[in-house]
Amino acid sequence: MTRKVINSKQLDTIIEHMVKTVEVSKDEIFEIGENSRKEFEALAAELNEVKLEVAQLIHKQEKLEMQVRLARNRLSEVSRQFKNYSEDQIKHAYDYAHELQLELHTTSQNESQLRNRRNEIERRLLNLEETINKADRLVSQVSVILNYVTSDLQQVGQMIADASEKREFGFKIMEAQEEERRRLSREIHDGPAQMLANVMMRSDLIERTYRERGAEEALSEIRSLKVMVRSALYEVRRIIYDLRPMALDDLGLIPTLKKYITTIEDYNNGKPSVEFFHRGYETRISANLEVAIFRLVQESLQNAIKHAKATHIHVKLELRPTSITVIVKDDGVGFDTTEKKEKSFGLLGMKERVELISGELKIQSKPGLGTTIYIQIPLS
């Protein structure tokens, strides 16, 4: 099966055609928006005039209604006292009442027509406003596309390199996971599994000791067995804690970090010494953030112990209403942050983890001057 390869000139031609098409579309959308905006302004001015005319007609109609009532009263009076008025007066009363009634009817019709016109203009203004907003959004979106086409697509080589690096990073992560499984298997085999095997052997020995040497010797063996079981239990708890500290769900982030740091010092016989400081309220945050922050501190401490060979480590955590700040500082060997090292996926993994929770990671280090890891994570 043959693979079709597009050279750089063909790619440039395609991109150029895309840019022209997008620019034409952007101009057309902008023109639609501008025409709609002009029509909106004209209709808004007309609406103000119509509203003014409606108000004037309402005022005129109220005056006419009052005049019609007076004219009807006058006509009623003329009708009752017909003999007391001349023919001209009677005719004038009838004509005046009729004219007022006709004018009132005409005014009412004009008001109704103006109200309909006002309602129609308001509906058209709503439609035009929606069209203008859509046009503005489309222009903005097309601008983003245009910027992408004109700038980002010109960095295809770098994007491919980044994709290749991420792919390599993914392989390293899988290798690290397999290595972690092998390490965990060795720890269980050499630690708790071996101890439990010894427990089985010692239990058989206790039975034989009780039969041959008596209860006192058997009790001594049982005490020794308790020490061995306690050691096995400690190893199991340490392995479980490395996998997932249960205290994180029950107690929260800060108590779990305190307990973890104490466990590290006990396991390493106090070398290095780790000091933990925290500021702010010991309040619970989302479970995902607690796990992420714990793993970041755990990875930072493991790097300081295994790679930096630090003798003293400071861990500082500050919990604010809007963010969490974590600083891990050690006095280890340090390194050059500008150099890319083989198997440096620990720091890459930390960076990926921080980016997933929209945080910021900074690393300051120089050979012989220790390392400081600065992490800031928003709580929004």
Residues 360 and 324: beta-carbon distance below 8 Å: no
Q: Do 8-150 and 248-380 come out as alike in CATH topology?
A: no
336 or 342, greater pLDDT: 336
Residue 5 predicted with pLDDT over 50: no
Each domain of the chain, given as residue ranges in start order, spans 8-150, 155-243, 248-380
Q: Which DSSP helix (H) or strand (E) runs through 375?
A: strand 371-378
Contacts of 25 (CB under 8 A, 6+ apart): 142
91-117 burial, b if ≥16 CB within 10 A, otherwise e? eebeebbeebeeebeebeeebeebeee
> What proportion of the chain, given as a percentage, has pLDDT over 90?
6
Residue 43 predicted with pLDDT over 90: no
Q: Which CATH class is domain 248-380?
A: alpha beta
Domain 8-150 architecture: Orthogonal Bundle (1.10)
Residue 133 predicted with pLDDT over 50: yes
Neighbours of 330 (CB within 10 A): 27
Residue 167 predicted with pLDDT over 70: no
Residues 153 and 15: beta-carbon distance below 8 Å: yes
